Amino acid sequence: MTIEARLEELGIVLPEPAAPVASYVPVVVQGGFAHISGQLPFVDGKLVTGRLGDDTSLEDGMLAARACGLMILAQLKAALIPLDKVERIVKLGAFVNSTPDFTDQPKVANGASDLMYDVFGEKGRHARAAVGVPALPLGAAVEVDAIIALAG
């Protein structure tokens, strides 16, 4: 089954890829790896903002992380990289806008991690960091970046 067919089977429609908000490019391919810049969570074209442990629930944080994962896939496609060329999701970095006493960053990051497994199966299992931060660009609740191995 192709990845496009898998997305359709899961009922997933990728969002429009977001334009960079500063001086960087969304995707750099080097040495067989795609490095995806940190992606913010957009749901129905609207940025998901808030702080975990304050005004944003764990469930909403997980959905925001999933939205970041969808944006990662959308950025790959926008860079003209067919999703079937993904050999392995190597690493995700999840940054969670959270209060100092919030400690469920790994659960929030599961929103993106579980998406990658659902879409790519075993190739979607990856190394990961999940870090709490006091603020993110534009007040986003979550930001996720990625390193993805590509087939020759």
Report the CATH number at residue 143. Answer: 3.30.1330.40
| Residue at 24 is within a domain | no
| Residue at 76 is within a domain | yes
| Residue at 50 is within a domain | yes
Domain of 110, in residue numbers: 3-11+40-150
The stretches of 53-136 forming alpha helices (DSSP H) are 58-78, 105-120
Residue 100's nearest CA partner among 135, 57, 75 is: 135
Task: Give per-residue pLDDT as tens, 70-104.
Answer: 999 999 999 999 999 999 999 999 999 999 999 99
pTM above 0.75, yes or no: yes
- Give the three-state DSSP class for 122: helix
| Residue at 78 is within a domain | yes
Structural domain count, the chain: 1
| Residue at 7 is within a domain | yes
Task: Give per-residue pLDDT as tens, 103-117.
Answer: 999 999 999 999 999
Binned at pLDDT 50, 70 and 90, residue 46 comes out as very high
| Residue at 27 is within a domain | no
> CB under 8 Å to 152, separation ≥6 — which residues?
32
Task: Give per-residue pLDDT as tens, 16-39.
Answer: 999 998 999 999 999 999 999 999
Tokens of 80: 């003209």
| Residue at 130 is within a domain | yes
Bridge partners of 148, per DSSP, are 34, 89
Tokens of 145: 């970046």
